[in-house]
Amino acid sequence: MTKPYVFITRKLSDDVIVALQDVAEVKMWPKEEIAVPREVLLEEAKKAAAIITMLSDKIDAELIDAAPNLKVIANLAVGFDNIDVSYANSKGIIVCNTPEVLTDTTADLTFALLMATSRRVVEAAQFVKDGKWKSWSPLLLAGHDIHHKTIGIVGMGKIGEAVAKRATGFDMDILYHNRSRNLAAEKSLGAKYVSFDELIETADFIVCLTPLTNETRNLFNENSFKKMKKSAIFINVSRGPVADEDALYQALVSGEIAAAGLDVFDKEPIDATHPLLTLTNVIALPHIGSSSTETREIMMALCCDNVIAVLQNGKPKTPVRI
Ligand code: 8YV
């Protein structure tokens, strides 16, 4: 019997696909740093029973229609806004993601970005390397404290909880806003549920962790940045389009807010000439929230396990439910 065909849209480590190769014929796009071209993906989809994909690939109706044998799409991410999940499901195709396994790693990076932004770590390190450190002065590269400040978390899911847990170690007051109350976070972490407006008006650090949906697109806009404190620091580790980048740029330039730490952008990779990248009060990272070698291996393995499970018994480990 011929094995089902699985296409993986980026090069994963060889070890991680061994088990998958037992049950399927596996082909990987060979380039780690270059996304598979759309026409190649459309061609591969024609024979694929499974596709392991990631944020940079658009799995839309056209692609799904080009894939008559497709049973499962496994996304190497917890977010799945790159996939038309309802269309896939309407065709009987299961979509899987990688929840939970990346929670702590993403929360670590969120905190790293928060700390680096408020204490001007990148600017200060560059200052030393550039040979600009000629003398010590009391306010040399003075940043702002983190401890005893107020963190406002927009999107209190698993990653939000893990960020809140880290904030307790800094004796921070924790506010959150979410579609629904997270009573567990309130009880165990002392997080306080507030309206979106109260959160953005009161918090010193506004941390965006909400998924990208029609409701959250441009949630952070000109109006919201105006309502923030002038000392506020905005951190986005979810999806770029949740914040209006032009409005964010204006808010940073005009001093409406103090700084921003961004791991995600409207268009990724962000163009090196983007205005946001000219600002010293912006720290920009290349969407590395869950990128530790340990966690990426686990995410890759989970994608493979989901595909194996669907191909063998139709029962995925971590299906997306919408
Ligand atoms: C992924 C992410 O690594 O999980 C997510 O939703 O944004 C990251 O963890 C990224 O999307 C690459 O696919």
Q: 207 by DSSP, 3-state: which?
A: strand
Do residues 162 and 305 share a domain? no
Pocket (CB within 6 angstroms of ligand 1)? 54-55, 76-79, 102, 287, 289-290
Average pLDDT in the chain: 97
Q: Which of 239, 245, 256, 296 is catalytic?
A: 239
Distance 137 CA to ligand 1 centre (A): 41
Asked whether the whole model's pTM tops 0.90, one would answer yes
CA-wise closest residue to 200 among 142, 238, 257: 257
Residues 86 and 142 in one domain: no
Whether 136 maps to a domain, the answer reads: yes
pLDDT for 292? 98
Claim to verify: residue 302 and residue 280 sit in the same structural domain: no
Q: What is the DSSP letter of 83?
A: B
Q: Could you tell me if 38 and 138 lie in one domain?
A: no
Q: What is the pLDDT of residues 16-54, one digit of tens each?
A: 999 999 999 999 999 888 899 999 999 999 999 999 999
Q: What is the pLDDT of residues 81-115, one digit of tens each?
A: 999 999 999 999 999 999 999 999 999 999 999 99
Q: How far is the CA of 266 from the centre of ligand 1 (A)?
A: 14
Residues 85 and 126 in one domain: no
Is 320 inside a domain boundary? Answer: no
Count the domains in the chain.
2
| Catalytic site includes residue 148 | no
Q: Is there a contact between 82 and 62 (Cβ–Cβ < 8 Å)?
A: no
Mutational pocket test of ligand 1: of 56, 78, 288, the residue with most ligand atoms within 8 Å of the beta carbon: 78
In a domain, 113, yes or no: yes
Same domain, residue pair 143 and 168: yes
Q: What is the pLDDT of residues 255-278, one digit of tens each?
A: 999 999 999 999 999 999 999 999
Residues 73 and 169 occupy one common structural domain: no
Residue 318 lies in a domain: no
Q: Closest Cα to residue 262, out of 124, 110, 151?
A: 110
Residue 319 alpha carbon to ligand 1 centre in Å = 16
Q: Which residues pair with 73 in a beta bridge?
A: 51, 95
Q: For the stretch 255-294, what's the b/e string if a residue is b when 16 or more beta carbons lie within 10 angstroms of its beta carbon?
A: ebbbbbbbbbbeeeebeeebebeeeebbbbbebbbbbbee
Range of the domain at 63: 5-99+293-311
Q: Is residue 174 part of a domain?
A: yes
Token pair, residue 143, equals 């940043």
Tell me what percent of the residues of the chain surpass a pLDDT of 70: 100
31: left (phi over 0), alpha (psi -120 to 50) or beta: beta
First vs last C-alpha separation in the chain:
35
Give strand pairing partners of 282: 260
Which structure tokens are listed for 53?
């994909």
* Active site annotation includes 179: no
| pLDDT range class, residue 143, cuts 50, 70, 90 | very high
- pLDDT value for 138: 95
Mean pLDDT for the stretch of residues 203-221: 98
Q: Is residue 319 part of a domain?
A: no
Residue 198 pLDDT greater than 80, yes or no: yes
Contacts 24+ apart (CB under 8 A), 40-49: 41/7, 41/9, 42/66, 44/7, 45/7, 45/70, 47/5, 48/5, 48/6, 48/7, 49/4, 49/5, 49/6, 49/24, 49/311
Asked if residue 230 and residue 114 are part of one domain, the reply reads yes
Same domain, 133 and 165: yes
| CATH code: domain of residue 86 | 3.40.50.720
Q: Is the pLDDT of residue 1 over 80?
A: no
Asked if residue 317 belongs to a domain, the reply is no
pLDDT score of 173 more than 90? yes
Q: Which amino acid is at 109?
A: L
| Same domain? 164 vs 260 | yes
Mutation choice for ligand 1 from 52, 76, 96, 101, CB with most ligand atoms inside 8 A: 76
In a domain, 322, yes or no: no
Q: Are residues 185 and 200 both part of a single domain?
A: yes
The ipTM of this complex is 0.94
Per-residue pLDDT at 195 exceeds 80: yes
Q: Tokens representing 25?
A: 């014929």
36 & 184 share domain? no
